[in-house]
Amino acid sequence: MILTCPACQTRYMVPATSLRDGRLVRCTRCSHEWFQPAPTAAQKMAESKASQPPRPDPMEARRDRMASGNTQASVPSTVPAVATSARQARRSFYLSLFASALMLVGLGSALVILRADIMDGLPWTRGMYGAIGLGDKNAAANDAFAKLTQGLVIPTDKLSREVMENPQDPDNPILILRGEVRNDNKLEKELPPIRVTLLDETGGVIDSWPVHVEKTVLEPGERTTWMGHFYNIPFDKVASIKAVFDHHASK
């Protein structure tokens, strides 16, 4: 509240709380003393209002913004939070995409490396692997050879053997083997090469050699003969003779 010296009219700003019950005061200018009574309720309320900061005038704030060129009210920005959330979402998406790609690469590698086992366990996958150039080449070759020799028969009961003296080495006679081939197909068939193998009692190979076939193309139901010569053979160890179409020579 404001005090005024009665003698010299000097004015002083004094807190109302310091004059709660009234008190004797002195002017610092003229040294005049007087009793200042306690402030009234109206004086206390006026001082309380004066001590509070004034509320901003909305119209005045609007005029200030227009004068500065900013016509939008200032509001807390949420853009940084939204941008951070978007970056995190993109990062999670790319990490998931990368992990999925790694899984696909691993699965593809396993399908390629283990394709032989897969085709053995799941024969229907042979066509799928073959379509992409990863089929079992041996299996494909075997299938082709099986079609080539289908209906061609080398009967074992027509096999005969003959031992002939070797003029160039009398101590090592020549073993001559003869057999027959039959075409049981209804169409003409070209004969693949024939190989004859001599085996011992344990199934071990003593010697193996291609033989000469009299005809290379047979009509339906036609037969032809083949013959092979073996030199320096231990005759006492020959337990069996095997005549088959030569898969490797037919490639």
For 6-49, the pLDDT digits (tens) are: 888 888 777 777 767 777 878 888 888 878 787 776 666 766 66
Max distance between CA atoms of the chain, in angstroms, equals 169
Q: Where are the domains of the chain?
A: 2-51, 152-245
Backbone φ and ψ for 200, nearest 5 degrees, come out as -90, -170
Bridge partner list, 161: 177
Measured between alpha carbons, how far is residue 242 from residues 35, 158, 203 in Å? 146, 12, 10
Rounded Cα gap, residues 5 and 21, in angstroms: 19
CA dihedral of residues 146, 147, 152, 155 (deg, nearest 10): 20
Structure tokens at 53: 């900061």
For 53-68, the pLDDT digits (tens) are: 556 666 666 666 666 6
**Residue 192, pLDDT above cutoff 50:** yes
Q: How confident is the model at residue 250 (pLDDT cuts 50, 70, 90)?
A: low
**Residue 72, pLDDT above cutoff 60:** no
Question: What pLDDT is recorded for position 73?
Answer: 45
Q: How confident is the model at residue 81 (pLDDT cuts 50, 70, 90)?
A: low
**Residue 74, pLDDT above cutoff 50:** no
Structure tokens at 108: 């593809």
DSSP for 53-81, please give it.
PPPPPHHHHHHHHHHHT--SPP----HHH
**Residue 219, pLDDT above cutoff 70:** yes
Over residues 85-111, mean pLDDT = 85
Q: What is the mean pLDDT of the chain?
A: 80
Question: What pLDDT is recorded for position 6?
Answer: 85
Alpha-helix runs per DSSP H in 201-250: none
Backbone φ and ψ for 24, nearest 5 degrees, come out as -85, 130
Class of 152-245 per CATH?
A: mainly beta
